[in-house]
Structure formats: structure tokens, C-alpha cells
Amino acid sequence: MAEKSFKYVIVGGGVAAGYAAREFGKQGFNPGELAIISKEAVAPYERPALSKAYLFPEGTARLPGFHVCVGSGGERLAPEWYKEKGIELILGTEIVKADLAAKTLTSAAGEIFKYQILIIATGSTVIKLSDFGVQGADAKNIFYLREIDDADKLVEAIKAKKNGKAVVVGGGYIGLELSAALRINNIDVSMVYPEPWCMPRLFTADIAAFYEGYYAIKGINIIKGTVAVGFTADSNGEVKEVKLKDGRVLEADIVVVGVGGRPLTTLFKGQVAEEKGGIKTDTFFRTSVPDVYAIGDVATFPLKLYNEIRRVEHVDHARKSAEQAVQAIKSSEEGKTVEEYDYLPYFYSRAFDLSWQFYGDNVGDTVLFGDNDPKSPKPKFGSYWIKDRKVVGAFLEGGSPDENKAIAKVARVQPSIQNLDQLTKEGLSFAAKI
């Protein structure tokens, strides 16, 4: 079987891989030294588009429009860019075996790739309902969303089931973004999740109440405190009903499931140190194995600001960890080092006309400020999180670019406060002063 050898290999061809390639381009390398091996058939793209404009009936996003690095306002790296740079894009190729001691990777087709330096950028996969043995979960038209092929299948189903009914299982990022996208396509949507409010890992009850109220106005039926326990299908094997634990039965032509992600570390199990479900790295994204780095969703790294190690499943960290790792690799070749990774967590989402940003840490007490009436023509509200009398996290719905910058600064600076009532009263103007 064919054997190929590279100085640098990135396994995985998602967001982190794309930003790593751009950083190699900036730092300099020789043609033929770098390869990206990806299971997907397309060059790295901005994954967040898949749950947003990719699904819209108008203003639809399609490749090559959203290849990296347009999501952060950078140059769009179409496949030709990789060719010009002499980067080998090895697409549609799944790595099924990694031998970190021998420095080789083996593909499903049996090709062998040798490397001197490996960057693991395999991202996450979806947790499936069949993982918890939910009956009938393999029926047709039950969808998960991670990769572009998944999105294409969903787009086909939306066309085929025009004005039909959808049940969205899960109240996290996928649940909220996909319910909105389906509704915009004129599908009748019910959302089901077990928690007392949506996005419980981040939202307070007050924040969630706004989004649940807004979604209800848009005609989305929200069912909380229960889970899907089974599906029935028609004679074609297509899903028809969703059975809930509380005994209710919902009709469905389409089911979308978003019950969380799982980092793809399986290839490296037993060969590299892991922590908190990811591959443990240092501040330069070096793993416990020399010459092996891990970036993006798979990395559990030191979050300097909180003196803790964490894994982050969001695009901003995928981009920045990629840049940090490549800068560290190139500097070490010259016997130099780079500064420590000093990441400020940043998450965002967009759905309907809404758009929120969150910076920092969601721990401690919270205050809510602003207009959070879902019926308002232009709602704008936010929250601060306060720990040890310091503001450590900030959330803002409907902020302008300057206002979002201001809340980011608050989360970075962590200003002290004396009085929570005063902070509530000042609201966004508190951030503007920092």
C-alpha cells in the first residue's frame, strides 16, 4: 500500500485545521511539508454556518462561500489556496489507526501516512439516542448535525416534507438554532428537553425565559422536563411519531437530535494522557507525547485566567488554539518560545433576529439588566456573573459591536463591585465605563 511522508500532518479537516494551515502560511514552510487529512470531502470551512445560513430558505450559504477564515473576517481559503501553498489536502480519507510510537497514521483504505509532527484536530462527534438505547432511533428522517453531509441530508428532508412537522430533541445550541432554522422554513416545530429551561449549562432561568418566550411567539411548542423514549416509523421506515417519557406522543415528519457532543479521542486512547474527556495539553497545545499536539474541541488545556484546565467546544477557541500551536511549533524550531495561551472564553449564538454573546465564566451570583420582554420590538438585555465581589462573566443579547467589546473587557478585567443592586441599575453602562 502507498506510504506518504510529511514533516507536519494535521489529522482532521475542520475549523482548527483550517486556521492552523493559515498560520503555517504566515509563519512559513516549504511546499510538500504539510498535509491535512480529513474524513470530510471538502476543504476546511466555518462549521457554525451549518446550523444557520446553510439551512435558510433565503440568503442560503453554500461552499465555497464559507471556507475558513471568513468567520473571523479573514481571507477565504478555497481549495486552490492549499494547492498554491503546496499543502496536500487529503480529503474523504478517514484515519482508522494512529501509532504515535511509530509516528504513522493508517487510513480506512489502508494508506500509511508518516509524520514528524502531528496535530490532532479531530473535533467532536454527536452523541446519538441509540447510545442510550432509545427504541426506534434508527428510523429514516431522524437527523444529527455535525458535518456538511449531515446538513445536506437535512436540507433534502426540509424540501421533501414541505410545511410538515418536526420534533427537535435537545435544548442546547443545536436545539435552539435548529428549531429556529426549521421554523423559518415554515415547519411546525416542537422542542423537547429534560431540563427546567433551555441551555442550562450557560443560561440562568431569567435568560432562558426570554428565549423560551420569544420562541413561543414564533410558534414553537416547547416541552420541558421530559425526554424522547421511542420512535415509531411508517411502512417506508420513515419516522412518524416521537414517544415521550411523560406518555405524550408527538407527530413528526422530521426529527433533529442535539443531545451533546463527544470529543473524538478514540484513535489515541491509551497512547496519550487524557483529562476531562479530552487530550491533555500544555499551554502550547503539546500533548504528553513528544511532537504530538492537540487543538480545538479535543484539547483539554490550561485556562490561565481561571487557573484551571478545561475543554472548550466553541469556534473561537478552535481558531485561537490552532494559531497558538502552530506559532509554538515554528518558534521551537528556532529555539524560541511563544507566550502562554491566555484565553478568554467566548461563546455566541444567532437565531431568528436574535444574537447573543457571552464572555468569561458563568459562576457565582448573577444580576439581570435591560429589556428582556420577548414581545419588545428590539429587546436588549444582559447578565453579569459575580464571584468573590468581582464580575467574572457577561452575557448580552442584541448588543452592538462596541457593546459586545465592552462586555468582553469586563470579563477580562474582572472589575470589583460593592453592590449587586447598583450593578443591576447601571446595567450595560457599567461595562461601557471599564
- CB nearer to ligand FDA: pick between 261 and 427: 261
Candidate list 349, 383, 404, 414; residue touching ligand FDA; CB under 6 A: 349
Does 50 engage in binding with ligand FDA (CB under 6 A)? yes
Interface pick for ligand FDA out of 9, 34, 37, 367 (rule CB under 6 A):
37
Q: How far is the CB of 52 from ligand NAD (least distance, A)?
A: 8
Which three cell numbers, joined as nine digits, stand for 374? 420577548
Beta strands 95-99 and 354-360, pairing class: unpaired
Closer to ligand NAD by CB, 142 or 192: give it: 192
Cα separation, 95 vs 224, in Å, equals: 40
Within 247-276, which residues bind ligand FDA (CB under 6 A)? 264, 267
Q: Considering only residues 89, 95, 157, 223, which one is a binding residue for ligand FDA as defined by CB under 6 A?
A: 95
Nearer to ligand FDA, 345 or 427 (CB): 345
d(CA 333, CA 117): 11
Q: In angstroms, what is the minimal distance from the CB of 391 to ligand NAD? A: 22
Joined together, the cell numbers standing for residue 428 give 450595560
* Window contacting ligand FDA (CB under 6 A); options: 7-15, 160-168, 195-203, 402-410: 7-15
Q: Does residue 119 bind ligand FDA (CB under 6 A)? A: no
With CB atoms as reference, the residue minimizing the distance to ligand FDA is 14
| Inter-CA distances, 306 with 301, 321, 360, Å | 12, 17, 9
Smallest gap from residue 340 Cβ to ligand FDA (A): 20
* 3-state per-residue secondary structure call for 217-272: HCCCEEEECCCEEEEEECCCCEEEEEEECCCCEEECCEEEECCCEEECCHHHCCCC
Q: Which residues pair with 193 in a beta bridge?
A: 224
Interaction between residue 207 and ligand FDA (CB under 6 A): no
CA distance linking residue 346 with residue 335, whole number of Å:
32
CB of 345 to ligand NAD, least distance (A): 11
Q: Which of 366, 398, 397, 358 is nearest to 384 (CA)?
A: 366
Q: Which does 169 bind (CB under 5 to 8 A by kind): ligand NAD, ligand FDA, none?
A: ligand NAD
Nearer to ligand NAD, 99 or 246 (CB): 246
Radius of gyration of the chain from Cα atoms?
Answer: 23
Q: Which one of 22, 39, 103, 161 is in contact with ligand FDA (CB under 6 A)?
A: 39
Indicate whether 158 belongs to the interface with ligand FDA (CB under 6 A). Answer: no
CA 172 to CA 88: how far, in whole Å?
A: 36
Stretch that binds ligand FDA, among 142-150, 233-241, 388-396, 415-423 (CB under 6 A): 142-150
For ligand NAD, the closer of residues 257 and 289 by Cβ is 257
Strand extents, DSSP E, 277-409: 278-280, 292-294, 299-303, 308-311, 346-351, 354-360, 365-371, 380-387, 390-397
Which is nearest to 394 in space by CA: 407, 381, 406, 404? Answer: 407
**Closer by beta carbon to ligand FDA, 29 or else 66:** 66
CA 108 to CA 106: how far, in whole Å? 7
Task: Provide the binding-site residues for ligand NAD, judged by CB under 6 A.
Answer: 51, 124, 169-175, 177, 192-195, 200, 227-228, 258-261, 313-314, 347, 349
Residue 316 touches which member of ligand FDA, ligand NAD, none, C-beta under 5-8 Å by kind: ligand FDA
With H, G, I as helix, E, B as strand and everything else as coil, classify residue 24: helix
Alpha carbon distance 119, 299 (integer Å): 11
Using CB under 6 A, which of the segments 38-46, 182-190, 329-337, 354-362 binds ligand FDA? Answer: 38-46
Residue 121 touches which of ligand NAD, ligand FDA, none (Cβ within 5-8 Å per kind): ligand FDA
Are the C-beta atoms of 227 and 244 separated by less than 8 Å? yes
Q: How far is the CB of 394 from ligand FDA (least distance, A)?
A: 16
**Contacting residue, 9, 16, 406, 410, with ligand FDA by CB under 6 A:** 16
51 binds ligand FDA, rule: CB under 6 A: yes
Consecutive H or E run containing 412: helix 401-413
C-alpha torsion angle, residues 235, 236, 238, 240 (rounded to 10) = -30
DSSP code for 364: S
The residues that touch ligand FDA, with contacts defined as CB under 6 A, are 11-17, 37-40, 47-48, 50-51, 94-95, 121-124, 145-147, 264, 267, 296-297, 313-316, 318, 347-349
